[in-house]
Amino acid sequence: MTAKKAPAPVNPMEEFLRMDRIPHIWCPGCGIGTVVTSFVEGVRKEKINLDDIAIVSGIGCTGRVAGYVKFDSFHTTHGRAMAFATGLKLGNPRQKVVVFSGDGDLTGIGGNHFIHAARRNMDMTVICINNFNYAMTGGQVAPTSPPDSKMSTAPTGNFEPAFSLPYLAEASGATYIARWTALHIRRVTKSIQEALNHKGFSFVEVITPCPTLYARRNRLGDGLDLMKYYYDSSEIRHGHDTRDTEIDFQGKIICGKFVDKKKPTFLDAMNTHFTKTFGDKYQPYGVDND
């Protein structure tokens, strides 16, 4: 008799990934994968029903997240993930809608949709992977590129000012805002857990290395070097004024949970308003429409 073979070990991630699409396209040393791992870990820890989560992505390296995670997942057009997600949430308010977006997708081409979704306090979670450049297209300068960083369309250095995303999010009306670097694995996970439980517009920015383009062009070593550098350059200051969260080239990165407040969501405000206006004749939308 031969001993019974032990079942092949299963990676705990497999339940959450479309394994038939792995390997993924991301470069070795890229931070997107670690953020996806943190996200999955956050969902697992919160014991959220996997059927209740919808992932929306736009275009770019981060845009590919929607293709690898095993949830209802939508890979949409460049910059429009926020607007698509707004419609998806209103179409079926029971779902937890999560947008995975890169910095260029979210705040360059998609900037208008980002600020308006925040303004409305749309009940959704936005995870922004900020690698300071348009990586999918070859490392072009982005609205987040630190001043003086060298990019393929700023070969002698970037002379434009950069967005500070926590400040932009807060000014626009976001009600949960946190920032970490890709190596703050446990803290990213915890913030994603909080964001998923937050009622309203929650925003988690993760500073990640782009080894192939940003790091190479600026001679910053490989992905791990830069991941470690970002981690070492971070300063955790919870509740810090978002006006002071700018990131200089290879400068200090202020991290932490900056904003966590309550405000009516778009649907709450709509239902409250119409109930006040029409009384019992109004059937609140998205509350029991299942």
Partner 1 sequence: MVKADPKGVMTGSWFLDGDYALAEGALAAGCRFFAGYPITPSTETAERFAARIPKVGGCFIQMEDEIASIAALIGGVWGGQKAMTVTSGPGFSLMMENIGLACMMETPMVIANVQRAGPSTGLPTLVAQQDMMQVRWGSHGDYRIIALAPDSPQECFDMTIEAFNLSETYRVPVFIMTDEIVGHMHEKLVVPPAEEIDLVERKWYTGPKDKYLPYKNDKDGIPFMVRSGDGYRFHTTGLTHDERGYPLLNAEQQKITVGHLIDKIDGNADKIISLEEKEIKGAEVVVLSYGITSRVAVKAVQDAKKAGIKVGTLRLRTVWPFPEKRVAELSRKVKAIVVPEINAGQMVREVERSVAGRCRVTSVPHFGGWVHDPKDILKAIKEAAK
| Residue 269 interacts with partner 1 (CB under 8 A): yes or no | no
| SS3 per-residue string spanning 10-78 | CCCCHHHECHHHCCCCCCCCCCHHHHHHHHHHHHHHHCCCHHHEEEEECCCCHHHHHHHECCEEEECCC
Alpha-carbon span 77 to 258, nearest angstrom: 30
Span of 31-39, 147-155, 249-257, 275-283 interacting with partner 1 by CB under 8 A: 275-283
75 part of the interface to partner 1, by CB under 8 A? yes
Query: How far apart (Å, rounded) are the C-alpha atoms in residues 188 and 51?
Result: 23
Residue 56 binds partner 1, judged by CB under 8 A = yes
CB within 8 Å of 19: residues ≥ 6 apart: none
Least gap, CB of 172 to partner 1 (angstroms): 11
Our finding on whether 268 is near partner 1 (CB under 8 A) is no
Q: Looking at beta carbons only, is 89 or 190 nearer to partner 1?
A: 89
Does residue number 112 form part of the binding site for partner 1 (CB under 8 A)?
Answer: yes
Q: Tell me which of 26, 39, 84, 134 binds partner 1, using CB under 8 A.
A: 84
Task: Say which residues have a Cβ less than 8 Å from residue 243's Cβ, sequence separation at least 6.
Answer: 167
Please report how the helices 165-172 and 111-119 are oriented relative to each other, as an axis angle in degrees rounded to 10: 50
Nearest Cα to 53, choosing from 77, 32, 66, 71? Answer: 71
Asked whether position 272 contacts partner 1 by CB under 8 A, the answer is no
Cβ neighbours, 10 Å, residue 72: 17
47 part of the interface to partner 1, by CB under 8 A = no
Q: Is 278 in the site for partner 1 (CB under 8 A)?
A: yes
Tokens 């937890």 map to which residue? 96
Q: Is 277 in the site for partner 1 (CB under 8 A)?
A: yes
Alpha helices in 105-184 (DSSP H): 111-119, 165-172
Applying CB under 8 A, the site for partner 1 has a residue count of 46
- The region of 138-146, 238-246, 251-259, 272-280 touching partner 1 under the rule CB under 8 A is 272-280
Task: Report the residue from 29, 80, 247, 257 that binds partner 1 according to the rule CB under 8 A.
Answer: 80
Indicate the residue among 12 and 239 with the shorter CB distance to partner 1.
12
- List residues near partner 1 by CB under 8 A: 18, 20-21, 50-52, 54, 56, 66-67, 70-77, 80, 82-92, 94-95, 112-113, 116, 266, 270, 274, 277-278, 281-283, 285-286, 289
